[in-house]
Chain A
Amino acid sequence: AQSVSQHNHHVILSEAASLELGCNYSYGGTVNLFWYVQYPGQHLQLLLKYFSGDPLVKGIKGFEAEFIKSKFSFNLRKPSVQWSDTAEYFCAGGNRDDKIIFGKGTRLHILP
């Protein structure tokens, strides 16, 4: 069955630390992958997306993600986090023109 799984449910980091949030998917064929962020009290926003091409995708606010097909992974990274990055992060994936499935989310808490 199609699925998206996120390894970390809750991550706590200090400011300036490096971040990597894991995401694995189980899809056949061409897959579209996304990372969304939900800041406290706000709605979901797209951080970045991968459809095809360069597997290293750069998004907004200094985030990037790397699509590794052999590992079925699409991990989110940021070299140096800020307090304002405190939010919940959702990995999502789907085949083109099909429904998109979300992972369970990772709650990131940055200590000032």
Chain B
Amino acid sequence: GAVVSQHPSWVICKSGTSVKIECRSLDFQATTMFWYRQFPKQSLMLMATSNEGSKATYEQGVEKDKFLINHASLTLSTLTVTSAHPEDSSFYICSASGRNTGELFFGEGSRLTVL
């Protein structure tokens, strides 16, 4: 099946620094990618929807200046957590939707720990 890959899978950073997480669709073109955040023992919370070549659509309560999303090509979307704080520590998961499939393919997730 389709493969979506995230990198890095685990990152530790100091408070105040910025961290970039990449999400790649390896064998299909992803017109739409979604970024989710998963807190421990909780469900996935949709943060934003990114469409290739246009600005991301953020969910209510998600700071777009803090979580910068770029979807520059049909195979790559990036999430940058700017000026990270310990409360940003979480598991970030991306998913990609191919043209007309309606199905989501998930990346492995990226665990961010902010010290």
Bound pair: A and B?
A: yes
Residues of A in contact with B (beta carbons under 8 Å apart) = 32, 34, 36, 43-46, 49, 51, 90, 92, 96-97, 99-105, 107
Residues of B in contact with A (beta carbons under 8 Å apart) = 32, 34, 36, 41-44, 46, 49, 93, 95, 102-109
Tell me how far the C-beta of A111 lies from the nearest C-beta in chain B, rounded to whole angstroms.
Answer: 20
> Are A46 and B44 touching (Cβ within 8 A)?
no
Tell me how far the C-beta of A63 lies from the nearest C-beta in chain B, rounded to whole angstroms.
Answer: 16
Contact of B43 among A43, A46, A100, A103 (CB under 8 A): A103
The closest CB in chain B to the CB of A44 belongs to B106
Q: Is the interface of B mostly helix, strand, loop or mixed?
A: strand
Measured CA separation A93–B32 after assembly (Å): 16
Q: Which residues of B contact A101 (CB under 8 A)?
A: 46
Contact of B106 among A43, A51, A104 (CB under 8 A): A43
Supplied contacts A46-B103, A101-B46, 19 more A-B pairs, CB within 8 Å: A34-B103, A36-B106, A43-B93, A43-B108, A43-B109, A44-B44, A44-B95, A45-B106, A90-B43, A90-B44, A92-B104, A97-B32, A99-B46, A99-B49, A100-B34, A100-B104, A102-B36, A104-B42, A104-B43
Q: Which residues of B contact A45 (CB under 8 A)?
A: 106
